[in-house]
Amino acid sequence: MSGLTALFKAMLASMRDLMPIVMVIAFFQLFVLQDVLPNFLSVLFGLVLVVLGLTFFIFGLEMGLFPIGESMAQAFARKGSAFWLLAFAFCLGFGTTIAEPALTSIATEAAKVAAEGGMITHSEQEMERYANGLRLTVALSVGIAIVIGVIRIVKGWPIHYMIAIGYIGVVVMTAFAPPSIIGIAYDSGGVTTSTITVPLVTALGIGLASAIKGRNPMLDGFGLIAFASLLPMIFVMVFGMVMT
């Protein structure tokens, strides 16, 4: 019964969160465009599916992904093995990123545009190879970024210096990278902070900071996502330099 109550509350919260965007669309459709929304019943049904999907997703995060990430991070910290902790961090970053639907989408679109622009051969095999190469590059960079973020938590290094150095690297790479890959590189940094990666990586940082003596989860537990957004920009620009 308590589970159903929690699910109902999550559904109400999802409806509340979606209400602003629904009101914005309704306002512009009715008062600016002054037209009835086409396929209203279909749109309404889709909105119901969005509410249900968002509800189950958030409910699943709270029940499964967050506890798993935190408990495993704490277990590795208690185990005291730096190798296995860093191996877990890399595999978590790599695995969650390669499964990101947003990354798959942008890699597919990038391959199509690259083929149309003559950067690669206009064939299914070549476009698939380009898209898979882009996905693997981003996933590898996120894995390495999470490892660097974990080392920062363990060592207690200040995050602002590391982020500043990272963005200096992004600016330097932008000057040398092909113009055609720069926009894709910047967007690749954004799509890594999506539905699958963020919950598990955040839980990893909070759990690790909670388990290490002298670390504050609020000060040290967050920041892994910043590394996960930063490093893919550099790696994808290198990927573009290699592919052209």
- Joined together, the tokens standing for residue 58 give 């958030």
Mean predicted lDDT score pLDDT of the chain: 86
Give dist(CA 85, CA 151) in Å, integer. 10
Q: Hey, how many other C-beta atoms are within 10 angstroms of the C-beta on 198?
A: 18
Report the predicted TM-score, pTM, of the whole model to 2 decimal places.
0.79
pLDDT at 167: 93
Give buried/exposed letters for 74-104 (b at 16+ CB in 10 A, else e).
bebbeeeeeeebbebbbebbbebbbebebbb
pLDDT at 113: 87
pLDDT at 186: 92
- Joined together, the tokens standing for residue 225 give 């996502």
The stretches of 61-158 forming alpha helices (DSSP H) are 66-79, 82-98, 101-116, 124-155
Residue 49: partners with Cβ closer than 8 Å, 6 or more residues away: none
As a whole number, mean pLDDT of residues 115-134 equals: 87
Give dist(CA 153, CA 21) in Å, integer. 37
Q: What is the pLDDT of residues 46-105, one digit of tens each?
A: 888 888 888 887 777 777 767 777 787 778 777 777 888 899 899 988 988 888 888 888
Give dist(CA 204, CA 73) in Å, integer. 5
Place of tokens 């309704």: 26
Q: Look at 66-70, 98-102, 108-112, 215-219 and tell me which has the smallest mean pLDDT.
A: 66-70
- pLDDT at 199 exceeding the cut of 90: no
Residue 233 — pLDDT band, cuts 50, 70, 90? very high
What is the domain partition of the chain in residue ranges? 1-63, 81-243
Task: Pick left, alpha or beta for residue 34 (phi over 0 → left; psi -120 to 50 → alpha; otherwise beta).
Answer: left
pLDDT at 216: 86
